[in-house]
Structure 1
Amino acid sequence: MTQFHTDEYVDFLSKVTPDNMDSYAKEQGKYNVGDDCPVFDGLFEYCGISAGGSMEGAARLNRQKCDVAVNWAGGLHHAKKSEASGFCYINDIVLGIIELLRFKSRVLYIDIDVHHGDGVEEAFYSTDRVMTCSFHKYGEYFPGTGELRDIGVGNGKNYAVNFPLRDGMDDVAYKSVFEPIIAKIMEFFRPDAVVLQCGGDSLSGDRLGCFNLSMRGHANCVKYVKSFNLPTLVLGGGGYTMRNVARTWAYETGQLVGQEMGPELPYTDYYEYYSPDFELDVRPSNMDNANSPEYLEKIKLQVFENLSRTRFAPSVQMTDVPRSPLVVQPNENDPDNEGDTEDLDEREQRLDDKDDDENPDSRYTERKWDARIERDDEFEDSDDEEMDALLGVKKQPGAEPRRPRITDHKNPYADMAEGSLAESGTTTPLDTTLPPAAAQADQMVVDRAQAANAAVGDAIMAAKASEDPRAVQPAMGEEVASNGTQRARSPQNAPSTTAQAPVAEPEDVEMGEDDVAEPPANAPNSNNTQAGVGPTATPPTDPTVAETTTTAPEDIEMGDGAAEAKEEGRQERDAEDVQGEMKREGEAGGIN
């Protein structure tokens, strides 16, 4: 992991747990852990599985053990060098590409996640050995990067390709831009290997996505990349409607191995998660496509122009690492001075063993200090911060604008039942949408019930005015069927919908007058509010009200110590970001 991430960041991830996270308040602010990157049990093990899978897949491609390697647990493209972001802690993609670069001159990275792959682009922003290509939603959307004009700096100028898109991108429009762009990149860049990130949040109906791709439209990208017959590392990524993500990745696995899969699903323990159709398919919705053909053509031509400015198939001198010792030195442990020698690896191993055998209470040797040295200015505070500390000025928590989170932008076109199902504990909600015919019949029943309620209300008011309760009975008898239908649909004593997982609502069948049972003579009239016999029935609590009253407040005042530590960590991270930007601009100015 430390091939890309800093030692301090990886060490923090290996130590922090939900039980001791309060003692790491400063580090949480510094490394952006805790908001949309929460601490959970088994965090570091999860990071190891994700990163290890991608690195092992890249190593197998290097050794020509396979043509395509798949790691659906990978694709965490938001993680930075020393910062977590957007549910991503360790950037397995960067680690996999670094492994590929040991044997490959050029690597192409393709990202079809709905979010911009900012972590991967940032890692290779100034090199021409890796070209990054991302098709993503751009605008008021996480992470807020990926403009068309972000093309790289220095040696990597024009080697970062960004295709900003708008809401509602469908299969036809996506194919019209994806295939020409990838074909042009293959023509100019000539990669030796491809890394494809297949984020499932670009599918239709995703909770956080805003595209309208079907399962086959998403899989068409995988099939097209595979057609170039290059060593390919296929990774997962985002996707927040799990039943659709599972369907799509299963179908794409079949495409990668050349197996066409039918719509029938085998019966397993998870079979009920794929109701109501129980098919291997994700269909698009009737969402409007905000990407006009003129807009897509304009962006595509600009990308072609940027690619034409790149060097054709940039090369790099590849040298074999010698297997023989680089330097041979006399063996210091040769008391007889018989001429025994040792190479650098043997010397380092011997010294490491010597350090391990030493008493931990003894003083550090110079070699130990050199192994743990850090730059003096790495965590240096600015003059303003030092002056504020001397004057006793404390910065209030939350004074700075809040960092964008991946959960800030949810799909308004997703299934409306998703939210209530998530609260009920059902991780994969069921589809409760009705077909058009059933929806029309349902509306007719509702209209008829509303008319019946209005007639009954008028009869009650007339009976009260004449002080003769018997006047209400004829009107109620006339509309008993409609009221019975309404009671069948909305029982008064039904439990709250947020307390149980909802199921697919069957089509409403209108009941006739003969099918409705007459109430007993001594039953209280539920419509008469003046009835004095028996206790008054209490209506069920409104789910929205209950949810409002039980939800904890968002702004919870934290202790001074934890707040100050977390704020101090944020300040250090922001200072490092500013230094990095200045360094990048300086390099770009010096080269250009």
Structure 2
Amino acid sequence: MLTDHLVLSYGLHERMDLYKPRRATKDEILSFHADEYVDFLQRVTPDNIKEFTNVFSKFNIGDDCPIFDGLYDYSTIYAGASLDASRKLISGQSDIAINWSGGLHHAKKFEASGFCYVNDIVLSILNLLRYHARVLYIDIDVHHGDGVQEAFYASDRVMTLSLHKYNGEYFPGTGNYDEIGAGNGKHYSLNVPLQDGIDDESYIRLFKSILEPVLTAFQPGAIVLQCGADSLGCDRLGCFNLNTKAHGECVRFTRSFGIPLLVLGGGGYTPRNVSRLWAYETSICLDVELDSRLPQSLPMIKYFAPDYNLHPNLSGKLENKNTRKYLESVKTQVLEQLRFLNGAPSVQMQIIPPDIEGHDDETDRAIADKHEDDNKDEMDMDLNLKDEKRKGELSV
């Protein structure tokens, strides 16, 4: 809500198209998640919760994945938005599509994890793969994008690149540089494990030095960028020293390559800073410069006291434990994986299925009827032309 208020107060909504997408259907969610798990999400509520306690451990429910009223509806809304954003890119209707409510990168095929229930990122990537031969996933959340990595761990059509805190214990406990993929996907999972307190300059330099060679080697047809805001300094669950401009520079650099781009939200636990960041990154996607002083007309402006600034100082709160030597070694480990790629993998693309646009059954029937009418009209025209030609031949 705060992000929306900032976007509107800055007038950014006048520079872009806004859409109200439909919710994701069960069949769409089942393109990744297990039927038993989705059925559980549909049925469980705070009122009947006791009926399902025997499967809580199976689906990883509890602690950071509680049951709340409207859980399934919530999941279908944000997943539906990410799917619709992917359709906008596929159709060429948009070159950049944003869903700040998406980016729930921890959800697994069979279980919830880390506040994430349905993995909208995996669903949108699967949709993009129906049109694009290769998709690059980039994750700049402070936590490892384990759910997305796991989903495509054995695929060479999706490369995952995640920069995150890693010490073997920090949630989710995965994401070391030796997690490189398996089978056909070997060397297509790239992890950049970082220590506490990384600063703006180090992060930006590392990000740029890795992304450019990755794009050259993999040549993706589309990019999905998860912009988790918990990598900012002063985040309640984070441990980095990044400012909004440094985080935004990663978005700006990714955008600069002109590849169709899906931008998603993710983590972030200090709401005033999360909203500032995502409003700023919206402006970057639009190539619009914003005044650092927040608009006086902003509703709920009290949340941004005492500085009322788009770019508060969030750095220097933690010691930077990432030495230049350590970061160079991490970069070397990551780029070493690219040496094993024999050019960008190719895939035989079939005719795009008609349901790629995500219509409901009623719309599909209407389109089919129109095609039938058009074909009939075309056949009638052909017959008329033939009749006219025959008349001309007879008269001769």
Same fold? TM cut 0.5 = yes
* Distance in 2 between residues matched to 1:62 and 1:321, nearest whole Å: 10
Query: Which amino acid letter does the alignment assign opposite residue 314 of structure 1?
Result: P
In the other structure, the counterpart of 2:305 is 275
Q: Does 1:143 align with 2:172?
A: yes
* Distance in 2 between residues matched to 1:291 and 1:215, nearest whole Å: 20
In the other structure, the counterpart of 2:359 is none
Q: Does 1:78 align with 2:109?
A: no
* Distance in 1 between residues matched to 2:82 and 2:233, nearest whole Å: 27
In the other structure, the counterpart of 2:129 is 101
Say whether the 8 Å CA contact 1:248–1:282 is kept in structure 2: no
Structure 2 length-normalised TM = 0.80
* Distance in 2 between residues matched to 1:305 and 1:56, nearest whole Å: 36
Query: Which amino acid letter does the alignment assign opposite residue 247 of structure 1?
Result: R
In the other structure, the counterpart of 2:4 is none
Say whether the 8 Å CA contact 1:108–1:130 is kept in structure 2: yes
Q: Does 1:307 align with 2:338?
A: yes
Q: Could you say what secondary structure the match of 1:312 adopts?
A: coil
* Distance in 1 between residues matched to 2:353 and 2:170, nearest whole Å: 49
Equivalent residue in structure 2 for 1:49, among 66, 77, 81: 77
* Distance in 2 between residues matched to 1:321 and 1:84, nearest whole Å: 32
In the other structure, the counterpart of 1:569 is none
- 1:150-189 aligned at under 5 Å gives the runs 150-189=179-218
In the other structure, the counterpart of 1:214 is 243
Q: Measured at CA, do residues 322 and 55 of structure 1 come closer, stay the same or move farther in structure 2, by a change above 3 Å?
A: closer
Q: Does 1:27 align with 2:77?
A: no
Query: Which amino acid letter does the alignment assign opposite residue 55 of structure 1?
Result: L
* Distance in 2 between residues matched to 1:48 and 1:215, nearest whole Å: 30
Deviations, residues 343-374 of structure 1 (Å, cap 9, x unaligned): xx99xxxxxxxxxxxxxxxxxxxxxxxxxxxx
* Distance in 2 between residues matched to 1:108 and 1:248, nearest whole Å: 23
Query: Which amino acid letter does the alignment assign opposite residue 189 of structure 1?
Result: F
- 1:112-151 aligned at under 5 Å gives the runs 112-139=140-167, 140-151=169-180
Say whether the 8 Å CA contact 1:204–1:282 is kept in structure 2: no
After superposition, the CA RMSD in angstroms is 1.4
Structure 1 residue 263: Cα displacement: 1.2
* Distance in 2 between residues matched to 1:322 and 1:275, nearest whole Å: 51
Structure 1 residue 268: Cα displacement: 2.9
Say whether the 8 Å CA contact 1:74–1:235 is kept in structure 2: yes
Q: Could you say what secondary structure the match of 1:162 adopts?
A: strand
Equivalent residue in structure 1 for 2:288, among 259, 271, 283: 259
In structure 1, the gaps of 5 or more residues are 324-344, 347-592
Query: Which amino acid letter does the alignment assign opposite residue 174 of structure 2?
Result: T
Deviations, residues 282-302 of structure 1 (Å, cap 9, x unaligned): 323322210000000011112
Structure 1 residue 321: Cα displacement: 5.0
In the other structure, the counterpart of 2:325 is 294
Structure 1 length-normalised TM = 0.54
Structure 1 residue 16: Cα displacement: 0.8
In the other structure, the counterpart of 1:363 is none
Query: Which amino acid letter does the alignment assign opposite residue 31 of structure 1?
Result: F
The structure having more radius of gyration, on CA atoms, is 1
Q: Could you say what secondary structure the match of 2:89 adopts?
A: helix
Deviations, residues 246-298 of structure 1 (Å, cap 9, x unaligned): 00000000010011111121233310000011111132332221000000001
- 1:87-486 aligned at under 5 Å gives the runs 87-139=115-167, 140-266=169-295, 267-286=297-316, 287-321=318-352
Query: Which amino acid letter does the alignment assign opposite residue 300 of structure 2?
Result: Y
Q: Measured at CA, do residues 321 and 209 of structure 1 come closer, stay the same or move farther in structure 2, by a change above 3 Å?
A: closer
Q: Could you say what secondary structure the match of 1:29 adopts?
A: coil
Q: Does 1:15 align with 2:15?
A: no
Say whether the 8 Å CA contact 1:84–1:90 is kept in structure 2: yes
Query: Which amino acid letter does the alignment assign opposite residue 207 of structure 1?
Result: R
Structure 1 residue 322: Cα displacement: 7.4
Q: Measured at CA, do residues 46 and 104 of structure 1 come closer, stay the same or move farther in structure 2, by a change above 3 Å?
A: same
Structure 1 residue 34: Cα displacement: 1.8
* Distance in 1 between residues matched to 2:211 and 2:312, nearest whole Å: 25
* Distance in 2 between residues matched to 1:317 and 1:60, nearest whole Å: 23
Greater relative contact order (CA < 8 Å, ≥ 6 in sequence) = 2
Q: Measured at CA, do residues 19 and 295 of structure 1 come closer, stay the same or move farther in structure 2, by a change above 3 Å?
A: same
Q: Does 1:4 align with 2:32?
A: yes
- Count of residue correspondences: 325
Query: Which amino acid letter does the alignment assign opposite residue 35 of structure 1?
Result: D
Say whether the 8 Å CA contact 2:106–2:119 is kept in structure 1: yes
Say whether the 8 Å CA contact 2:199–2:315 is kept in structure 1: no
Q: Could you say what secondary structure the match of 2:344 adopts?
A: coil
* Distance in 1 between residues matched to 2:305 and 2:291, nearest whole Å: 17
* Distance in 2 between residues matched to 1:322 and 1:35, nearest whole Å: 41
* Distance in 1 between residues matched to 2:269 and 2:196, nearest whole Å: 17
* Distance in 2 between residues matched to 1:127 and 1:142, nearest whole Å: 24
Q: Could you say what secondary structure the match of 1:210 adopts?
A: coil
